[in-house]
Amino acid sequence: MPTAPYVKACINGARTPEAHPGLPVSPQQLADAAVAAHQAGAKAVHLHPKTADGVDSLAPETVAAAVSAVRRALPGLPLGVTTGFWALPDPQARLRAVESWTVLPDFASVNWHEPGSAELAQLLLSRGLGVEIGIFHAEAAESWARSEVAPHCLRVMIELGPDGDTETADDLLARIRAAESPAPILLHGLDDSCWPLLAHAGKRGLQTRIGLEDTLLLPDGSTAPGNAELVAAAAEVLAVSR
């Protein structure tokens, strides 16, 4: 019997509460959203720790509050956080912030094209965290493939914007596979490209993700009530696309 596709829930992203009334911000909201997404079928959760006004933060107290809340609500759920450069746009300050984390997630995402990504990935690995590498374009794929980090990643993510298409996805997929990293590959899109690329991930046998970070809409164009409904819809799309 074939195994179910690997779907990770990305429950809030860099969006702010104005984007959607159900966007989780507080630690309790993040915990509730993570539990609901997991119950809907998500095998892991990625979140952006946020300040009270919904702005992404890498501050140790903010990360600790978010991670601890989810861990209390659902012990054992694989849990990752962002290290997005927009949250702290200074490479050395970002390194210091991550080095000061007191409550650690299971993994963290690193966008390879961002300044200081290699050093950040090495720091995360030295702290025992899994590293998800975000590849946004061919230049990043080639640079990552040549790096010392490539053999040690938890996951490599092909991350395309609203105009992303399957041809670009396949080109990046080939470049990443050429590196012969043992890490599984995840493909996802954003907004307009989200559902087409999720279906393409199913066709290619790749991991994928879904959640309010990537889209606010269900496949029929209606507004998603929340992350759980997006995860459930993804399962239906993947069942058809495989």
Domain span at residue 156 reads 7-241
In a domain, 159, yes or no: yes
User: Phi then psi for 135, rounded to 5 degrees?
Assistant: -110, 115
The encoded tokens of residue 143 equal 């640079």
Distance CA 41, CA 81 (A): 19
CA dihedral over 87, 88, 91, 92, signed as positive or negative: negative
Number of domains composing the chain: 1
Residue 217 lies in a domain: yes
Whether residue 2 is contained in a domain is answered as no
Q: Enter the tokens of residue 134.
A: 């975000």
- Average of per-residue pLDDT across 66-95: 98
Please state the rounded mean pLDDT for residues 231-235.
98
> CATH number, domain at 76?
3.20.20.70
* Span 44-62, pLDDT tens digits: 999 999 999 999 999 999 9
* 8 A C-beta contact, residue 94 and residue 118: no
Task: Output the pLDDT for position 2.
Answer: 55
The mean pLDDT of the chain is: 97
Is there a domain that residue 118 lies in?
yes
Angstrom distance (rounded) from CA 125 to CA 111 = 15
Question: Residue 198 domain-assigned?
Answer: yes
pLDDT band at 241, cuts 50/70/90?
confident
* Degrees to nearest 5, angle at CA 165 with 163 and 166: 170
First-to-last alpha carbon distance for the chain, in angstroms, is 13
CA distance 67 to 192: 30
Residue 156 has pLDDT above 80, yes or no: yes
Indicate the pTM of the whole model.
Answer: 0.97
Indicate if the pLDDT at residue 128 is higher than 70.
yes
For residue 209, report the phi and psi dihedrals to the nearest 5 degrees.
Answer: -150, 165
| 16 close to 23: Cβ distance less than 8 angstroms | yes
**pLDDT tens track for 16-45:** 999 999 999 999 999 999 999 999 999 999
Using the predicted structure, report yes or no on whether residue 1 has a pLDDT greater than 50: no
Confirm whether 23 is domain-assigned.
yes
In a domain, 1, yes or no: no
